Amino acid sequence: MKTIAIILAGGVGKRMGGTIPKQFLNLNGKPIIAYTIDNFQRCDVVDGVLVVCVKDWIPELRRIVNEFQLSKVQWVVEGGDTSHDSTRNGVFALRHVLEKDDFVIIHDAARPILPQQAILEMMTVAKKYGNASLAIPCHETLIYTDDQASGTSQLDRSKIMRIQTPQTYQYGSILKLYEQADADNLHDFIYADLVAVHYGMRVYFSKGFTNNIKITKGEDLSLCKALMQFSEKELYSL
């Protein structure tokens, strides 16, 4: 049984400003995407890595792979017009690589903090149920809004989970989901989990963690630098 990690690096990072996609920004002298890939490079349960990349940045990605000796990167695929399309491109590219009982791990390139234990626990859940996603309970009070300026009703936070990446799926099931979405001309799902629930699949949770931040805005870089001073054990338990 094989497990391949799909790293989504197809975004251009408009919310960050500037001209460099956020996944290629430097953090303590090392590109963010290099940290992200290295988390899977070091993981014994991961057999290979496929990166879905912004077209114009593929040469830079290859340079980074060589510089940091990220030997598990075996495939580089061009990103799509949407996050959904980028994930689809990665899933479809593995059609002749994986069997239906193999697994894919889908992860954001801009989430560089990922302890090994989080990956291992996720894979344990996925092998039991066929899929697994890092998720954390919601502790904040939730108010429903239809205009982003006001609200009139409360949501039950005990019935809410905050989904993160990585997300893992048995390959046969995730391939079928994305083939169906393509047939239905649907392209706006942000995550694989949303495709799954749209088509009636139950998604299963593994332990997420609040330090699994996605670098989206400028201030996230400072937070990420601070968090990287902690050990993986500390980050996973904080």
One digit per residue, the tens of pLDDT, for the chain of length 238 reads 999 999 999 876 555 556 889 999 999 999 999 999 999 999 999 999 999 999 999 999 999 999 999 999 999 999 999 999 999 999 999 999 999 999 999 999 999 999 999 999 999 999 999 999 999 999 999 999 999 999 999 999 999 999 999 999 999 999 999 999 999 999 999 999 999 999 999 999 999 999 999 999 889 999 999 999 999 999 998 6
Burial annotation 139-170 (CB, 10 A radius, 16+ → b, else e): eeeeeeeeeeeeeeeeeeeeeeeebbbbbbbb
Structural tokens at position 191 = 């995550």
Domains observed in the chain: 3-237 (3.90.550.10)
Distance CA 106, CA 3 (A): 11
Residue 105 and residue 119 in contact, taking contact as beta carbons nearer than 8 Å: yes
Distance CA 54, CA 206 (A): 30
* Predicted structure pTM score: 0.95
Measured N-to-C along each axis, helices 32-41 and 58-67 cross at an angle, to the nearest 10 degrees, of 60
Structural tokens at position 131 = 């899929």
What amino acid is encoded at 16 in this protein? Answer: M
- Whether the CA torsion 108, 49, 74, 3 is positive or negative: it is negative
